[in-house]
A and B are shown apart, each in its own frame.
Chain A
Amino acid sequence: MAELIKTPLHAMHLAAGARMEPFVGYDMPLRYPQGSVAEHNQARNRAALFDVSHMGQLRLMGEGADAALERLVPGDIQGLGDGAMRYTLFTLENGGILDDLIVSRVPGGLGLVVNAARRNQDTEHLRRHLGGRVDIVPEPDRALLALQGPAAAAVLADFADLPFMAWREGEACGVPARVSRSGYTGEDGFELSVAGADAEALAGRLLAHEAVAWAGLDARNSLRLEAGLCLYGRDLDEDTTPLEAGLGWTMPKRRREERNFPGAARILDNPPARRRAGMRPEGRVIAREGSDLLDGSGEPVGWVASGGFSPVLGGPVAMGYLPLALTAPGTEVAFDIRGKPRPGRVVRLPFVPHNYFRG
């Protein structure tokens, strides 16, 4: 096995007593001594600091980068104002999804943050389709930290005026940073892109605040699940369309009319037969990814894409794919868990309300 990549914060994780785990080629903190549930609650109640430096940061530079990127995504990129950012998808000719990503308007181009597991495919995809039209500039030497939770705005008071999905450059705790009001936990908070060499200083100064503590990948997963947010590889993949995934909102009217993104006809002309839905199993047994979903007669009709324990609800939650007719909240479904059908029902997403700062 190739040696795992260490983020610029690796030594700090070890010093904090983190349990490390290989994650898409990186040696990442799974959890810290306080435990995943405490870390989860830290993000919901105070402020949790995540090292997400494994995520791919890159820039598309040059005039017309926005129009160029629209050839690959169904989102409104040309309409992004200065300092604005947006969640979008790389779609494929078959209507599936290559990756989900965040796109920011930056001076002279666009900034992209993509999933670590898909970075190589994404970069290759960009080169193949946009090479020559825009400069594709990976930024492997930058670190990315996420500070998430209701106390985050008090910690980064200089950026407390930024509304959700906006960003600007500035000094965070004395460190030059690109600071955005964003994250993937459902909470208010920030993501901070900094030079790798500055990452330890920034993390140390953030952790010096009484409200801030580390949180690992395990808590990050339970937070995004409670928030009903998709994880690429579980909830999204190359065979799932944006409409099936419930991400139709990422395709605005202009782009649906232009139909000039990969798979547009397949996505827009085929009403989805299945759709992502939120579900709650009864009791405490956890429905995990891969479990079959059964209808009233016990027939397999779908599958769990993401499942786990919700610390806020104190019980299991799941997201999965079901035939459209079974996705209405209240619909009874069963989970096939270790060969036994376990009852549950469809519920509205998110499981826990979002707490974004809209300005």
Chain B
Amino acid sequence: MAVRTYYTREHEWVRIEDGVAVCGITDYAQTQLGDVVYVELPEVGAEIARDGEAAVVESTKAASDVYAPVTGTIVAVNDRLEESPDLVNESAEDQGWFFRMEIGDEGELDELMDEEGYQAFVEELD
């Protein structure tokens, strides 16, 4: 079975890879933001509750908060974004990931949208 990706109403995605939650912002979010020129990432070791501020993504136009889709501890951040924030535009849901979290309660994922649900959600927004 393919790895499932979950989505938040704030346009973050999360999926479990090798037992940790990989998180980023959605492709829809990056098209809304426009060119991403800076990403402020959390510190490794930071404990962040679900919906807590985890990162800041800056487009040419504005800064936007990125929230943790689930509760957990940051175990890695995507250092490539420091030099190449445009990876978020090019590959929002893959190479442009923001951080990895160790999470306690995978049950939190069930409260998020699946891909189909998220597609329907953003179609409502447009």
- Which A residues have a C-beta under 8 Å from some C-beta of B? 19, 30-31, 35-37, 218, 222, 284-286, 288, 308-309, 316, 338
Contacts and interface: CB of A to CB of B under 8 A. Distances in A.
A20 B117 CA distance: 27
A222 B60 contact: yes
B38 interface: yes
Interface of B: 34-35, 37-38, 40, 56, 58-63, 82, 85, 89
A23 B62 CA distance: 15
Given A218-B60, A286-B58, A36 B38 contact: no
Q: Which 7 pairs of residues, A with B, have the shortest CB-CB distance?
A: A309-B37, A36-B60, A37-B35, A284-B38, A35-B35, A286-B58, A36-B35
19 contacts: A30-B34, A30-B61, A31-B34, A35-B34, A35-B89, A36-B59, A36-B60, A36-B61, A37-B35, A37-B37, A37-B60, A218-B34, A218-B61, A222-B60, A286-B58, A288-B63, A309-B37, A309-B38, A338-B56
Nearest to A217: B61
Contacts of A288: 62-63
Contacts of A286: 37-38, 58, 63
Contacts of B89: 35
Of the listed residues B37, B38, B60, the one surrounded by the most CB atoms of chain A closer than 10 A to its CB is: B60
A13 to B, nearest CB: 15
Contacts of B82: 284
A285 B34 contact: no
Nearest to B85: A284
Contacts of B85: 284
A37 B61 CA distance: 11
Contacts of B58: 285-286, 309
B61 A284 contact: no
B120 to A, nearest CB: 22
Contacts of A308: 60
A309 B60 CA distance: 6
B116 to A, nearest CB: 26
Contacts of B62: 288
Given A31-B34, A35-B34, A285 B40 contact: yes
Given A218-B61, A222-B60, A309-B58, 11 more contacts: A35-B34, A36-B61, A37-B37, A37-B60, A218-B60, A286-B58, A288-B63, A309-B37, A309-B60, A316-B38, A338-B56
